[in-house]
């Protein structure tokens, strides 16, 4: 899409500007958690962050758009596993196996799940999850990493397949979160006293976890749960076009938001040099 080249240039500039401020800064896990909350809470798309290294992989941050899409407030769900969306819903067993593997390793995962909103309404959730390493333990060398989840309600597609280019947009949104966290982590590290609890050294740039992509990306297994009587619609129908318009809007929001993040980088650099 047209916003992608501009987005890539902006995020590259952001990483270069903030690299020097972030390298080697010592932080605590609590500081990292707060940085993630600040990075995602006002994102103009649906994003969650979970801590896979804590028991049961609890959510530590969600965007306002996630609250709007699901009906759950962050006060209800922070600190718990996101399986509350799966209550009373039949899931594809193979996708569940892959999701558990992705949650344990950080390998990228994409699938479409039938989920349930707080109201009880069923919807189809396009879920893209991948692990992001942000720091390493100074003593053990163990990675400190988190699960970044980008989600979208694709219920209007019926039994159509999600176009391939939308998956590229999910990657774009994940990269935007990564660059937001560079800003937030650097600012928190610079403004926080470094004590004995600061046991992690920030990486120069947060790194996506390695691994082959998991998941089916197929809508056919999930759609009958939501709409047993639905019929496939023709290619280019209202369902697909509706999703295309929403993904384009999200991409534009990401690009616009990136300009704001870029300005933060330049302001911080000026402050460090003054």
What residue ranges define each of the domains in the chain, with the CATH number in brackets? 3-273 (3.30.450.20)
| Helix, strand, coil % over all residues of the chain, rounded to 5 | 50, 20, 30
One digit per residue, the tens of pLDDT, for the chain of length 274 reads 444 444 444 444 444 444 444 445 667 888 899 999 999 977 888 999 999 999 999 999 999 999 999 999 999 999 999 999 998 898 889 999 999 999 999 999 999 899 999 999 999 999 999 999 999 998 899 999 999 999 999 887 755 666 677 777 777 888 888 888 888 887 776 665 555 456 888 888 899 999 998 887 665 555 555 554 344 444 444 444 445 555 555 554 444 344 343 333 333 334 334 4
185 phi, psi to nearest 5 deg? -65, -40
Which residues in the chain belong to E strands, given as ranges?
Answer: 26-27, 46-50, 59-62, 109-116, 122-137, 143-153, 200-208
In whole angstroms, what is the distance from residue 102 CA to residue 109 CA?
A: 6
Task: Name every residue whose Cβ is closer than 8 Å to that of residue 257 and which is 6 or more positions away in sequence.
Answer: 43, 44, 176
- DSSP assignment letter at 119: T
DSSP 40-72: HTT-SSEEEEE-TTSTT--EEEE-HHHHHHH--
**Within 106-163, where are the H helices?**
none
In whole angstroms, what is the distance from residue 146 CA to residue 198 CA?
A: 18
Contact (CB, 8 A) for 24 and 123 = no
Contact (CB, 8 A) for 217 and 127 = no
């Amino acid at each position: 899409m047209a916003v992608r080249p501009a987005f890539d240039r902006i995020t590259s500039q952001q990483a270069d500007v903030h690299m020097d401020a972030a390298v080697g800064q010592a932080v605590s896990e609590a500081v990292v958690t707060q940085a993630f909350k600040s990075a995602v809470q006002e994102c103009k798309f649906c994003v969650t962050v979970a801590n896979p290294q804590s028991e049961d992989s609890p959510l530590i941050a969600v965007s306002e758009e996630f609250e709007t899409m699901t009906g759950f407030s962050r006060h209800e769900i922070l600190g718990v596993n996101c399986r509350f969306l799966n209550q009373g819903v039949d899931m594809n067993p193979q996708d569940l196996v892959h999701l558990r593997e992705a949650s344990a390793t950080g390998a990228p995962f994409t699938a479409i799940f039938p989920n349930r909103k707080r109201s009880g309404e069923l919807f189809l959730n396009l879920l893209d999850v991948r692990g992001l390493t942000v720091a390493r333990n100074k003593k053990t060398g163990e990675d400190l990493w988190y699960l970044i989840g980008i989600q979208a309600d694709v219920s209007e597609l019926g039994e159509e397949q999600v176009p391939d280019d939308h998956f590229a947009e999910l990657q774009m949104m994940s990269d935007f979160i990564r660059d937001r966290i560079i800003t937030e982590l650097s600012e928190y590290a610079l403004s926080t006293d470094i004590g004995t609890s600061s046991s992690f050294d920030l990486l120069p740039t947060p790194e996506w976890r390695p691994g082959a992509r998991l998941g089916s990306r197929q809508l056919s297994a999930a759609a009958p749960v939501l709409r047993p009587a639905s019929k496939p619609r023709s290619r280019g129908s209202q369902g697909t076009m509706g999703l295309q318009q929403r993904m384009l809007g999200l991409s534009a929001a990401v690009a616009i938001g990136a300009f704001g993040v870029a300005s933060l980088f330049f302001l911080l650099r000026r402050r460090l040099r003054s």
